[in-house]
Each structure stands twice: as structure tokens, then as C-alpha cells.
Amino acid sequence: MTKAAAVTFLPAADTLAGALLDSRQRWRDLVTLAADFAFETDAAGRFVFVAPDPALGWPAASLLGQDAARLLADPVPADGFDPFRPAAPARCRRVWLKRADGSAACISFAVAPLHDAAGTRGAGQDVTEAERREAAVARALRRAEVIDHILARMRTEVMAPRMMQAALAPLAPATGSEAVAVVDVIGDGMAPLLLHGHGTLTPPALTAAAAALAAAAAGGGPGMAEAADGRRLLACTAETRFGEQIGLVLCRAPAGRDWDGDDSALAAAAVMLIRTILEHESIQREMARQARTDPLTGLFNRRAFMDELARHIDRLERDGLPGALLFIDLDHFKALNDSCGHDAGDEALRRTAQLLRNSTRPTDLIARLGGDEFAVFLDGADEFSAAERAEQLRATGPQALAELTAGRSARLTMSIGIATRWAGQGEDVESLLDRADQAMYAVKRAGRGHWRVARAGEHE
């Protein structure tokens, strides 16, 4: 008969304790291999285990026994989650911790409270680079959304000034600015000239804007400055295709946050839109000027002259003042064109236009009505003043044009008709024009080269 082998049984408590110790060691070995940061805390929130060694640049021994909260980059995390004192198990919760070198690391944690020990156990992966890439993408998308919103608002407008307001209005809240301004950078030591704005720049802010613009121009990127009243300014500069140096200035209230790289990137993108709008504005101004201007002489054309004449007469009527209209026709102009060519004729028209400019005031109106016919409206003048001006033109005109007809029998002279409008008599623009025109043709019939005054109610 075989003797039975002796069997020894460990006490149940010892078996359980050994299993727990073995399990804890296995967990620690596993997280040391797999995690970028693993920890256990006690009931007081102090580290009792940290791995790997070093962890985030910290020697593990330097953290043991320390309050875990000292590693939080933000003492009060934005979402209120504290990985070292979680209320319940959590996974994939991102928290910024301090590295030993002072930088910050974003850790994606899985944590759970240890109810038996009243502490916490957790492990996490360093996702700093991924977090920064995602944040950069999010910022880029935000900038794109702002720019798309501005473009959408701009597309609903046609005129450049309204397009500018459509661009500036959303830019202010998007950047947390109390004022946004577009300025003309007009020279060293001079305050920038405000072109457009949303909100109001205080005088100290306007002074600081010049410094911010100078910094932007010198550095080739956004410039910053602080005003005497504590407002902070961010500025970007650009040059339009027409050579204009312009700047975009953003102003934050004294209590506002500091400018950062995202703000600079958005401002740099926005200033390109502003530049496009200003170029569009310049084109619209040029188109409007051309629509009202005779291309050869640069004077008002007939349409613009009629519009301005009506406005001048309305004002003079309210003020009880007269105004005198001169119709001027070049004598023998066709002969010059036929004998010397159109280049000589064009030069005669340009010289006549310059002569009229030199003989009038800035408040007067001058126009080329067509062909060799010109008109001058003397603002506030009576027929005596008009006659003096006409006599001056009659005498100096042939002298100014004599070079073009040298050696020819027919000189270029001027036939001038004058009509004065008196306030309170109710004469309309058409009647005034007709009287001046008829007076001019009366001079033509009488031999040319002189002037004649048409009396009120007189029609030839």
C-alpha cells in the first residue's frame, strides 16, 4: 500500500494577498511597458506609484509622496476633469500636465478610483503632437469659416464701401476686437489716415496704430503695440496693385486677452480681402470719374456738367445769389483739323481746357460739351463779372493757341455767349442753357471772336 503524499494548504487570506500582490505587480509591469504616464495615488491624492522612470522627464522618486495636483498645467482644467481625483471611471480624457523642463504634455487618460484604498489608478498616452495638430487644424478651419463668412457677406454687395463694411463687421467679433480700421499708411511720423472703420479707435489707440503699422512694415508680418490707455493693437500691412500702402488695424479693450498667432494669421488673411476691396473701390472710382469726365481734356462731360449745374443752381437759389453761364466755341477749329490733322485739333482742345482752368475758381464748373464747345459756370457771379471773364478769354485765347496756327490766315479765336441767372426769378436750367447758346451763335453770326450777354427772357 502506497503512502499518501502530504499536502500543505496555505491559509485563504495569504493566498488572496499573494494574488493581489501578483496582480498589482503585473499591472505595474504592463503599464510601464505600454503607457507614457501611469500612476497610483493614495486617499490624500499623493503619488504612491509613478511609471515609467523618468515620467514626463520627472524622476519617479521625485514625485512619490508629492501631491499629484502639482503636475496639472492648469490648476482648474477647462472641462473640470481632474485625472487624479475622478468621480467615476473615465476613458480617453485629455489633460495637460507639466513636464520637468517646464513645457506641457497632453495626456489621454484612462483612470478609475480605487474604492478599497480611496485612491486613484490611471494610465495614459502622450498625445501632445496629435492634440497640437488637431488644434492647428481646428484653428485653420475657424479662420476659413470666418473668411468664408466675410466672403459670403461681400458677395451680397456691389458697391465697394458696403463691401468693406460687410467685411469689417464680422471681423470684429471673430477677433474679439472693439474696433477694426482700414488706414492709408501715408508716411513716417504721420498718423495713419482712416479710410474705413467698424467701431471707434480712441486717440491713444490711433497713435499706437502708427507704431503697430511701423512694426508690421519693418517685420514683414503682423505688428503689435499697446496704447497709452491700455488698449492693445494688432496691425497688418499690404500694397494694392495701384501702389497704395494700406493697413488693417485691430484694437482690443484694455481687459481683452493678448494677441496670439491665431489672431495674426486671421488678420493676415483678412488684410488680403481688404486689399481686394480697396482695389475694387479704386476701379469703381475710376469708372465713375471716366463716366463723368471728357477723356481728352479731363473736364466734366455734358452729363456731369448738367448734374452739377442743377445742384449749384439749387444752392444759389436758396442763398439768393446769381450765377453766370458762358458758352464758348472755338472759331476756325474745323479748318485747323482739316489742314493740320486731328493731333493738332486735340492739342488745341487741351490748351483751351487748361486756359479755362487757369481762368476760373475751384468753385466754378468747367466742361467740354462736345466737339469744340465748352461751358463755364461762374458760381455766384453776375453778368458784369462774367463779361470781364469773357473779355479775358477773348484776349488771351488766341495768344495761347497762336502756335498751332502759325503761318495760317485763320486764327483760332473764341465766340462766347453769356447768360446770367438771378435768384427768385424761377428760370430753369434748360432756359439758361438756351439763352447762353443763342448768345454764342449771335456772336458767330456777327463775325466771331467776341462775346455777348443775353438778357433774361431774350431768345434769338
The band of 158, judged by pLDDT with boundaries at 50, 70 and 90, is confident
Task: Select the more confidently predicted residue: 236 or 10.
Answer: 236
Task: Select the more confidently predicted residue: 83 or 156.
Answer: 83
**Mean pLDDT of the 230-248 span:** 88
**Mean pLDDT of the 167-189 span:** 84
pLDDT in tens, 332-380: 998 888 888 889 889 999 999 999 999 999 899 999 999 999 999 999 9
Sorted by where each starts, the structural domains of the chain and their CATH numbers stand as: 12-126 (3.30.450.20), 133-290 (3.30.450.40), 302-454 (3.30.70.270)
Among the residue ranges 19-33, 43-57, 144-158, 206-220, the one predicted with the least confidence is: 19-33
pLDDT in tens, 377-405: 999 999 899 999 999 999 999 888 888 87
**Mean pLDDT of the 256-260 span:** 86
- Residue 1: the pLDDT is 44
The band of 111, judged by pLDDT with boundaries at 50, 70 and 90, is very high
Question: Has residue 166 got a pLDDT over 50?
Answer: yes
Kindly report the pTM of this predicted structure: 0.56
**Mean pLDDT of the 223-239 span:** 92
The band of 186, judged by pLDDT with boundaries at 50, 70 and 90, is low
Three-state SS string across the chain, please? CCCCCCCCCCCHHHHHHHHHHHHHHHHHHHHHHHCCEEEEECCCCEEEEEECCCECCECHHHHCCCEHHHHECCCCCCCCCCCCCCCCCEEEEEEEEECCCCCEEEEEEEEEEECCCCEEEEEEEECHHHHHHHHHHHHHHHHHHHHHHHHHHHHCCCCHHHHHHHHHHHHHHHHCCCEEEEEECCCCCCCCEEEEEECCCCHHHHHHHHHHHHHHHHHCCCEEEECCCCCEEEEEEEECCCCCEEEEEEEECCCCCCCCHHHHHHHHHHHHHHHHHHHHHHHHHHHHHHHHECCCCCCECHHHHHHHHHHHHHHHHHHCCCEEEEEEEEECHHHHHHHHCHHHHHHHHHHHHHHHHHCCCCCCEEEEEECCEEEEEEECCCHHHHHHHHHHHHHHHHHHHHHHHCCCCCCCEEEEEEEEECCCCCCCHHHHHHHHHHHHHHHHHCCCCCEEEECCCCCC
**Mean pLDDT of the chain, nearest integer:** 86
Distance (Å, whole) CA 307 – CA 291: 12
Task: Select the more confidently predicted residue: 293 or 286.
Answer: 293
The band of 284, judged by pLDDT with boundaries at 50, 70 and 90, is confident
Highest mean pLDDT (candidates 53-57, 145-149, 207-211)? 53-57
The band of 7, judged by pLDDT with boundaries at 50, 70 and 90, is very low
- Residue 460: the pLDDT is 43
Among the residue ranges 53-57, 118-122, 136-140, 234-238, the one predicted with the least confidence is: 136-140
**Mean pLDDT of the 65-93 span:** 87
- Residue 27: the pLDDT is 67
Task: Select the more confidently predicted residue: 243 or 55.
Answer: 55
- Residue 394: the pLDDT is 93
